[in-house]
Chains A and B, each alone.
Chain A
Amino acid sequence: MKRILVMIILISSVALYTFANGSQETAAKAATSYDFQFWFAGTDGIETEYWQTFFEDFFADKDDMTFSITGVPWSDFATKLNVAFASGTAPDLVHYPIASISQRASMGQFMPLDKYYNNWDGKEDYLENLYNLGEYQGQLYGLVTFTDPRVLVWRKDLFEESGLDPEVPPANWKELEEYALKLTKKQNGQTVRGGFQIPFQNSNQMVQIFALQNGGSLIDDKGTTPTFDSIEVMEAAEYLQNLVQAGVSLPWDQLTGDQFNPFPQGKVAMSYDSPQAYRNLLKNHPELEGKIGVRAPLSNTDEGTFCGARLLYISSETERPDLAWDVIEKAMSTEEALKRYELFFAPVNRTSLLEDYIADDPELNTATIAAIQVGEGIAKVPWFSLLNRSVSNAMERAFYGEDVRIVFPEEAEKLRDELKDFQSN
């Protein structure tokens, strides 16, 4: 017994020693040069490879420096980034969705990029709406590499089945409702095939899309207070509520992801989705080629849709901001934009590339660009997560039977109350 104990301790201490040495070696390497840290949202092979090649290329002529890239799962990026900023170990450059831009910019985690941007020769060519996506309170914090707008997608085969023209999607809200009802199939009063997909839970994105199309907004222009109890937003919410209560949608929580999204499963005929999700669908289901239609989003009184994006941000803790900007410039170049289109079908971000981009796939890419031009990202207020929850909550309560005109003002009032504490706290 004793011998076993001694052996275990011995082996463990040797192993511990080896580990410790390993980490000291890497640290020593870092001390002699600058180790440039880059974190990006996403862990899949193609994307990791893209950034690896990109940085190898960038640092090829910089012998005194090294780089490390770290891919982080989407769902856990916020946690990892928060811990890193809290402990002073944040990376130099971050590739991350718009989501928390307002929180991080207002706390000073990201660096304003205006002085670089204004001297950038690609400025004139940068797609117009993209500047707005990376802007917060008059300053630019990030440049867009990937855009992810919501476009209207529909199943042509299911349209034919229901006697609708597969090439002509609904043109406005009224037609959307008619089509959705026509495409819905029920058995014993239960929907077995939906007409138009509306998420039951975490539906804030859908509310935002329809609010925009109705000329409404979830927050006021100055970004100081929620306005989702305005008449425009409530009309949009009532429209969605009617559709859901008529049974045109199947239960789905937007946050559980595409795995359970009924549209790719062929259980719903129409949906708002991203061009990327559409590509992904065709990759997994080659038999659907030619059976899916894509159009720019509808409008009721206004044009509008949701547009997600991923941006490059420079951490305010970096010791080499100029170097980080050089990386951004390279990432924004025409060659890289084209490469990203080839690899991931990422929509281009330069005006000079639009023509070729649209020519490559007219139906999808026209719709995509149209959506990007009118797209709005997540509300740019430091309390966006509270806003999303309040809107989703209000919508959910309406779907479960409460009156929109009561729940929306109620949730908005509750949020305003909370914000008073939030800001004073």
Chain B
Amino acid sequence: MSTRKIPLPEIIAFFIVALVAILMFLPFLLTISTSLKTMAEVESPEFRLIPESFQWQNYADAMASGNWSRYFMNSLLITSITVCLSLIFNSLAGFSFARFTFPGRGVLFYLILIGLMVPEQVTLIPLFKMMSNFPLFGGNNILGQGGTGLINSRLGLIIPYLAAPFGIFLCRQFYLGFPKAIDDAASIDGASKWRLYAQIYIPSSGPVLAALGVLKTTHTWNNYLWPLILINSDEMYTVQLGLTKFRTAYGVEWNLLMAATILVVLPLLVIFLLAQKHFVSGVVTSGVKG
């Protein structure tokens, strides 16, 4: 590595990035500030960024509003299972789309995109009906009759999200960028397609799996509408459902909501920071060399 003088465009770039970052962060800063105020101060017409007195008690109060350890546990389980399985399914399908030609490939691929184009509001009801008639679960018989199926179950929060068109598409695009030399080298070795995937592609997929993992984690953790519809009992609540506890008939306890929001966001931030180094690990070259 040779030392070099930092060129001017990069200095300009730094300032622009810093400015954008601060602007992006400002609303969150206000969230933190609100979480430390009293309700009277939140509603007061004069605004202060730094609260009059720091109400750390808000955080304790927010967590006392429900069975939060259980909500976190539920969200953690649901998110980790969804993310792990969907990473495997999506990368496998993306790999297949990107690297092989087979009859029906085009149709199957475009069909994937169609699923993204219809808003949730319309597909909600048929999906819910399928959940309630899910065979062999929740007291249902093999034809899906007699019980409540996957309604009010954590499994019902996982299954529909295991295969996201988004993930399949992203993995496909990523693998399209891989040099084809890898495949050729592997086929000389006589590696089967499965081994090609598991031994060469997966080890080189750090950036895409990290990016997809972070986005999928965020999405699952923050999912609100589906759990709201599917879950009825407090013991199955996710963190996002827990956040509804601060809405009352006559307004919202904003300070507590903001405090809880920050605690709910923290795990996501940790995951993001942990995954960061994988986004930026040079990949393909090492794949070629290896």
Do A and B share a direct contact in the complex (Cβ within 8 angstroms)?
yes
Q: Is A30 an interface residue, CB under 8 A from the partner?
A: yes
Interfacial residues of chain A within 97-118, with CB under 8 A of chain B in the complex: none
Residues on B with beta carbons closer than 8 Å to the beta carbon of A47 = 248-249
With contacts A1-B202, A276-B249 known, is A264 near B233, CB below 8 A?
Answer: no
Closest to A17 in B: B155
Residue pair A86, B248 in contact (C-beta under 8 Å):
no
Distance, CA A22 to CA B153, complexed state (A):
8
A interface residue numbers (CB < 8 A to B): 1-2, 5, 8-9, 11-12, 15-16, 19-20, 22-24, 26-28, 30-31, 37, 39, 41-45, 47, 68, 70, 72-76, 79-80, 82-83, 86-89, 257-259, 264-267, 274, 276-277, 280, 284-287
Residue pair B155, A80 in contact (C-beta under 8 Å):
no
Contact of A87 among B84, B85, B129, B203 (CB under 8 A): B129
Residue pair A274, B250 in contact (C-beta under 8 Å):
yes
Residue pair A76, B249 in contact (C-beta under 8 Å):
no
Interfacial residues of chain B within 188-220, with CB under 8 A of chain A in the complex: 198-199, 202-203
Contact of B139 among A16, A30, A285 (CB under 8 A): A30
Distance, CA A9 to CA B87, complexed state (A):
11
Residue pair B247, A43 in contact (C-beta under 8 Å):
yes
With contacts A31-B139, A45-B65, A89-B132 known, is A74 near B247, CB below 8 A?
Answer: yes
- Additional pairs, 17, CB under 8 Å, beyond known A76-B225, A89-B148: A8-B88, A22-B153, A24-B137, A24-B139, A26-B152, A28-B139, A39-B232, A72-B228, A79-B124, A83-B124, A86-B128, A87-B132, A89-B132, A259-B251, A265-B44, A274-B250, A285-B43
Contact of A88 among B88, B132, B203, B252 (CB under 8 A): B132
Residues on A with beta carbons closer than 8 Å to the beta carbon of B84 = 8, 11-12
Residues on A with beta carbons closer than 8 Å to the beta carbon of B152 = 23, 26
Main SS of the interface on chain A? Answer: helix
Residues on A with beta carbons closer than 8 Å to the beta carbon of B229 = 79-80, 83
Residue pair B248, A89 in contact (C-beta under 8 Å):
no
* 1/0 contact string of B31-52 vs chain A (CB within 8 Å): 0000000011001110000000
With contacts A27-B147, A43-B245, A87-B125 known, is A265 near B250, CB below 8 A?
Answer: no
Residue pair B252, A259 in contact (C-beta under 8 Å):
yes
Residues on B with beta carbons closer than 8 Å to the beta carbon of A74 = 247, 249
Q: Which of A26, A31, A264 has the most CB of B within 10 A?
A: A26
Residues on A with beta carbons closer than 8 Å to the beta carbon of B137 = 20, 23-24
Residues on B with beta carbons closer than 8 Å to the beta carbon of A26 = 138, 152
B240 to chain A, nearest CB (A): 11
A349 to chain B, nearest CB (A): 17
Distance, CA A37 to CA B232, complexed state (A):
9
Residue pair B198, A1 in contact (C-beta under 8 Å):
yes
